[in-house]
Structure 1
Amino acid sequence: MYRFLLTRQWLILALIALVLIPTMVELGFWQLHRHEHKVAQNALISRNLKAKPVPVAGLTSPGHVVPRSDYWRAVTATGTYDEKHEVVVRRRTATDGSIGVHVLIPFDLKGGGTVMINRGWVPSAADQHAFPDVPAAPRGEVTVTGRLKADETTGSSGIKDLADLPDRQVMLINSAQQAKLLSRPVLGGYIEQTGPEPKGGTPELIEAPDAGSIGPHMAYAVQWWLFAAGVPAGFVVLARREKRDRVAAAAAAEQAADAAEPEPAKA
């Protein structure tokens, strides 16, 4: 009755189904893991942003790699801006998606030490080789609040660190790179400034990361698993339909043969 399943066509179809089922199940688990990662990241962001700010020197030091548990941690820093060594970080986007630069400046801490601070976004200069118009940093001793971030690398950010850039322009925010340029130790990581608010709203402070959206990953996981369940169900439906069509074709052929037989001659 189902001998047709042993034909070449149906064996290939069965093989394809056997490959598709575990592949779709695995894709479902991949999306589930992405969902779990997003949920854990949102919890970390929310917890660190709500934490009481602590002095940045208590969380990092020269050469220190900021651990994931300290990403976005609220920190403070008291000292003075070193505007002479301010640089801009190319190809950065504003809140509205406009392309410009981030303003990166060394901040000399009261009591010793230097930390890099991302003051925020400004438009690029019309000439990419020129330094953009950046509002002056506050003079004198100030206390800055912000979010602690890990150093950027090409591997972690996907941004290629280009060579031969114009003076005072960089591609990555990296404390080790800045320490070489400054010829002095720099605390690992950097501060994404949240206060004080700049006069006139520029540089534009960077928005806090989204800690509410979990994305569609869970829905995609369920979707892949439903597809996996649908493959064997679809195979059964196709096989039953093929059987029905073959039975119908055989019955029609038999009926046609009966109709074609000559009637016996009458005496």
Structure 2
Amino acid sequence: MLATALTLMVIAGFVRLGFWQLHSAAEKRSLMAQHALNRQSTVDLTPTNAGTLSRYQRVRLRGRYDSRHQILLDNMPSNSSAHPGQPGYRVLTPFALEQGGWLLIDRGWLASGPTRAVVPAVDVGTTPRELTGLLSHLPRAGVQLDQSAIAAEGSWPRVLNFPQQATLERVLSRPLLPGMVLLDPQAVDGYERVWEIRFSIGPARHIAYAVQWFALAAAALCIYLVLIYRHYRSR
């Protein structure tokens, strides 16, 4: 009886994990559909709604760049077929909204210089303009390290590794609206831009994991039945 109870518990656990993976796959498909829908409509971004819009919402904003204080995100891989996976920089430029407030614009990926000591020039015009792009969040490291030691003072553009919002506000000496905007690939004054909707685990992998859990449940059941059969046959 104990063996039967333990076997049923193990099988139930495997089945539950399988259905959990199927549920996760359905959630990811729903998110991907919502992101695709968000990209089809454009919303005017303001200081009021910046923190309420969904990720990958296509937005329109008006204002001007601050060319003197730019951030280079270090060790960022290229997403293009021309430089697949090549490390470089992503250029973040502060943008002053005409309604007030500052937001970071990701102007794209740029190859690093011949040596780490050579920082590429990323100057951009500061005349008022209208931009469109996708609302997103800052790239995140797998493990967040303490960034309190990063100095607020330094030369520009500043090279940083996976900076957090608070770090950027301290370095730029100004509050920032949440997130950032991925500049449209067709927009001027940008670099290489191949924006992809990515998940750490996509729907297909969730389904593959579900199949594995269900297979383990089936294997456990088969082993149990074989052992029971042999037990009663030997009597």
The aligned counterpart of 1:105 is: 93
Q: Which moved more, 1:87-96 or 1:106-115?
A: 106-115
Q: Which amino acid aligns with 1:88?
A: L
For 1:57 and 1:197, locate their aligned partners in 2 and report how far apart those are by CA, in whole Å.
22
Q: Which of 135, 158, 171 is the matching residue for 1:148?
A: 135
Q: Which has the higher helix share?
A: 1
Q: Which has the larger radius of gyration?
A: 1
| Structure 1, unpaired ranges of 5+ | 1-5, 61-65, 248-267
Aligned to 1:28: 18
Q: How does 1:39-118 map to 2 (within 5 A)?
A: 39-60=29-50, 66-67=51-52, 70-95=54-79, 96-118=84-106
* 1:182 counterpart residue number: 172
How far residue 138 of structure 1 moved from its aligned partner, in angstroms, is: 3.6
- Deviation of the 1:77 alpha carbon: 1.7
Q: What pairs with 1:187-266 in structure 2 (closer than 5 Å)?
A: 187-198=177-188, 203-209=191-197, 214-241=203-230, 243-244=232-233, 246=234
CA drift at 1:105: 0.9
In structure 2, distance between residues paired with 1:80 and 1:219: 47
* TM-score under structure 1 length normalisation: 0.69
Cα distance between partner residues in 1 of 2:107 and 2:24: 32
Measure the CA separation in 2 of the matches of 1:209 and 1:39: 12
In structure 1, distance between residues paired with 2:138 and 2:198: 20
Distance 1:230 1:52, change over 3 A: same
- Whichever residue aligns with residue 22 of structure 1, its letter is A
CA distance in 1, matches of 2:111, 2:71: 14
1:209 counterpart SS class:
coil
Specify the alignment match of 2:145 in structure 1: 160
Deviations 1:67-93 (A, max 9, x none): 5x6111111122221111011112211
Deviation at 1:131, TM superposition (A): 5.3
CA shift in 2, pair 1:210/1:183, >3 Å: closer
Q: How many residues align?
A: 224
The equivalent residue for 1:260 is: none
- In the other structure, the counterpart of 2:107 is 119
TM-score by length of 2: 0.78
Q: Does the 8 A contact of 1:74 with 1:145 survive in 2?
A: yes
